[in-house]
Amino acid sequence: MSPPRLQALRNRDLGGTGASIRAYALHLAADKSTTFAQNIDNFIACTRDSRETNPQVVMRNMRQFMSGMKNYLVKHGEREFEKEVEKERVKLKSTEFLNLDAILESVMHKLVVRPLKEHLYQLFVEEYTRTGAIQLLADNIQYARTKPMHELGVRARIAPPSEEALETICHLLTKLQEVDSPLDKLESLLACIGTIFNSVKSANQRCVALGADDFLPLFVWVLVQSGMLAAEIEADYMWGLLHPSLLSGEGGYYLTTLSSAVHVLKNFRLCSEEQSKTLGPGASLDWKVASLTEFRSVLKIVVPDEMHGSIITKTLPVRPNMTTRDVCKIIAHKVRITNPQDYGLFKLVDGEETLLADGECPQDIKGNVAQAGKHCMFAYKRIDAKIAWPRTSSPH
């Protein structure tokens, strides 16, 4: 597991190429006689007045509207929009292109997300207060603060971020909660995770590789130290409003890590008490022997190395109810598969493989197989690859 590359994820231009297009789109929105401006104003008014209280539904409507308005400008234009695009196009070198999608995405965040942020947060708070999610997270953070690091699953060989680094991390998490744009939030999250990586690397004199099963408990510890009670709301805000193209690479991987850490925290006290009964008080939270609930936060996947005839194991952070399609996107990114359409996720039980459908939930499948008294593994491989799997438990 490597630290995120911020620049690669920005996928937007803050100045120079595209700046005049962005400025003209904002000019169109300010001119209330344009169709573009009227549609935006009507959508915002209707969203605020709507009886819809489910924040997920509201975000889905926002996401669809933003994509629709971008398509409207690109395909039909309005006033001088097409001329502005053409002005920028003639300036391009043969190795450059205008990413209109990314340019207009930042515009839509300013025009749609910013004015609706307060309304959306209110819906989140009401929904998560009603379900008890906010209180559950708050109680578990308070409980986790009374526990030493090893009980959060942080291994002894991993030195935590320094006090100075932790202060920077907390500042970045605060900034994440203050900004409007989901992309700005994602950048703050990635900067926070990058700071954790760099601090741990600096604190550990010898080289320590942080896999997901090492990084996840460390990130849980960071959330506990920061007291970020809105962590679940912020994660879901980004999931709902970010452009889908940002959810399949590094951005999606580390956003999944945040959601996974929140899930661990919400279940920490329950899992801790269950393990105390089994292993005795003071036992550390073991990611390999934790309860079924805990297994839903990380997923171990074996990947055959066809070149060398060996098996490698990857541990991925996963969100609750994550689908096969989403798991495949993350594992393809982590093992650098360039032809993911040829690969699939397989269930392995007693050495027999079964290809999972895109909409199936691997965590549910693992739980059902475990309840039947059998051991379940998952393998990510070429769909056409013929492999005889060992009938033993997962490789170490």
For each of the domains in the chain, give its residue range(s) and CATH number, in order of start: 4-127 (no CATH), 135-289 (1.20.1050.80), 296-382 (3.10.20.90)
As a whole number of angstroms, the distance between CA 145 and CA 123 comes to 29
Cα-based distances in Å from 185 to 96, 118, 312: 28, 15, 33
In sequence order, the 6+-apart residues with CB closer than 8 A to the CB of 130 are none
pTM of the model: 0.83
Helices (H), the chain: 6-10, 19-30, 35-49, 55-75, 81-89, 100-108, 114-131, 133-144, 163-178, 182-203, 212-226, 231-241, 250-266, 268-279, 292-295, 324-334, 362-371
**What's the burial of 159, exposed, middle or buried (CB within 10 Å: 0-12/13-18/19+)?**
middle
> Is there a contact between 276 and 268 (Cβ–Cβ < 8 Å)?
no
pLDDT in tens, 289-306: 343 334 467 788 888 887
Each residue's pLDDT, cut to its tens digit, for the chain (396 residues) gives 555 654 444 444 444 567 888 999 999 999 999 999 999 999 999 999 999 999 999 999 999 999 999 999 998 888 888 888 888 888 878 777 878 888 899 999 999 999 999 999 999 999 999 999 999 999 999 999 998 888 888 888 888 888 999 999 999 999 999 999 999 999 999 999 999 988 887 766 555 567 777 888 899 999 999 999 999 999 999 999 999 888 877 888 899 999 999 998 998 888 777 666 655 555 555 544 343 334 467 788 888 887 777 888 888 888 878 899 989 988 888 888 888 899 999 998 887 889 999 999 998 888 888 888 888 889 999 998 888 887 654 444
Q: What is the pLDDT of residue 57?
A: 97
Nearest Cα neighbor of 351 from 311, 392, 310 is 392
Q: What is the pLDDT of residue 395?
A: 46
